[in-house]
Amino acid sequence: MFNRLFQKYARAISDANERKRLYTLFCARVIMSLFFYLLCVAIIVEAVSLSQAMESGESDMPFIVFGLTLFLWLSSGIAAFVLWLVFRTDFRAILNRAPSKDEMPEVVNYRQNTVEERKSLIKSLWWAIALLVLGIVFLIVGITIDTIQNPDVDDFGLWSGLGTGVMAACLLVFFFSFVIFKTKQIPQKKTENEVKAIDEAQGRKHRYSLQEDANAYLFGYLFPTPKLCRQAEELNKKRTTATLLSIIISLIVGIAIDVLFFTPLIFGKNLCGYCIPVAMTTVIIGAIVVVIKYELKEIALEKQQKKEFETYSVYLKNAEIFEKYRAFSKGKGRVIVYFIIASIVIAYALAAVFPDKMWSLVSIVPIYVAIGLNNFFLSSLRKEVKIIEDEIDNEGKNIKFRVENKVPSQDTATLSSDFSGVFVSTTNDLAQYRFQSPYCVLGLDSDSKKVDSLSLFVDENNLINTSVSMPQNVSDACLYLADDRTYPEDFVRRCDFPSRYAYDNQNKILVFGEPCESVCRIFSNVYVSLDDNGALQSVFVTEIDLERIPDDRNA
């Protein structure tokens, strides 16, 4: 019944019987939670519809019905909390257990990543959690003070109203902070391949999920020009921070307006029905004022990137992705905006009909519908775009080269001083280098299509210490891309290599790829060989002293 919701927990468990047991507990927890939420709605409806009947005192039935609903609500809340606590304890024990020998490595990695995500959540949002606790304390204190001062009055007084306002503000700040944190966290995830492998092993059909798609929130394919990509990423960070701050400030202003003008605390007239639409309007206006500045800057970046697409044919597939996103933003991407506008209109309409009732709360429902529709439309877009992204990645993995057997030019030779220490920067700051996953970055000259720089990154755990013999046949040459496409000046390509590679500590030689009989020297200490198809077969780098790397390189 709830298999889709349980998937993220099932992936952390190797044993089928244990998955079944935890799934049963999960279903009980979800059902009880749904029953609790249903009773929350029932209490709100009964409080509004039976208020006049209870005030008149003509019959005891409204009190009995409301009291019974309140009892069920409290009981289901306690049961839901207990089930949540038991499930959380069991799953936490699973996450923290030591890996067994027969477990898939992907399952072990998935558990470790989940633990790190949870630690990161608490570390990043401790202030929002503390603020939420402070809001709850304000609410309890406010109600307590009003109860002591006016024990015979059922309606909220000044302190109760202020406590409720502070609690609402803290709750919404926590909600927005949580959403923004999760959005920021997604690009850091690299679990999509692990998830596919786990789902296949557990006999479950893998389904696409935005929460696992790191590329959905990255700019590398939309802005393939490195300079523009960096600017887009920095702009997005500033926009996210500014939007969150704007929402918090606007929310506080909206609640202050509500307390001053729409509750009987100041002017003695109850117009609480207008509290929700006014607060929503204040938040939306505050967000728009901030966002529009960054939207204009992003439009300017898009115009620059579009010129790059028109100039350089190597960006042909990236331009296709760009156009799909533009079509989405002009079509289905606007659905969420329409729903928000509709929600505000509905809120004001309900407030006008029921000025002294909180029926305008119902207007929040369209916003949840809008979020669901937006995620559905965005998922459909991402499924189309991922096919093109895979094509771009495959092009990078199958780069074809050619060599011209001549002495490297002076410009190329001068680069050897930069490259002669693969792990040494131009400032000789060894500490800034860290071992990374294995790939080779090739810098390309836009005019000649010549490789004019090359960087290698290795994982020390995959390094084989052995004796390496340099090929006997060595010739000086220049390395070129074997295609006719146009490239920008700062264009780079990444080449994949085998996951294991060799290092000769005595001769200071680092080797990637397959053994070969002859190589071409493209820099003073860099030698390459190509296979029959023009792909890099091997790379030899001499004068590499790995012992010079500081001991904290894996920090």
Name the percent of the chain lying above pLDDT 90: 12
Instruction: Kindly tell me if the per-residue pLDDT of 476 is higher than 60.
Output: yes
pLDDT, residue 547, reads 62
Higher pLDDT, residue 121 or 243: 243
Beta strands in 469-541 (DSSP E): 473-476, 478-481, 492-495, 501-504, 509-513, 518-523, 526-530, 536-541
pLDDT, residue 13, reads 87
pLDDT, residue 408, reads 52
pLDDT, residue 420, reads 33
Say if CB 170 and CB 131 are below 8 A apart.
yes
**pTM given for the model:** 0.68
Which stretch of DSSP H or E encloses residue 79? helix 61-95
The model's confidence at residue 303, banded by pLDDT at 50, 70 and 90, is: very high
CB atoms within 10 A of CB 221: 20
Say if CB 155 and CB 47 are below 8 A apart.
no
pLDDT, residue 156, reads 54
pLDDT in tens, 258-269: 777 876 766 667
Instruction: Kindly tell me if the per-residue pLDDT of 553 is higher than 80.
Output: no
Instruction: Kindly tell me if the per-residue pLDDT of 426 is higher than 70.
Output: no
| DSSP-derived secondary structure letter, 11 | T
> Six-digit token pair at 260?
């001053």
Domain spans of the chain?
218-397, 401-554
Instruction: Kindly tell me if the per-residue pLDDT of 278 is higher than 50.
Output: yes
pLDDT, residue 52, reads 64
Say if CB 256 and CB 228 are below 8 A apart.
no
The model's confidence at residue 165, banded by pLDDT at 50, 70 and 90, is: low
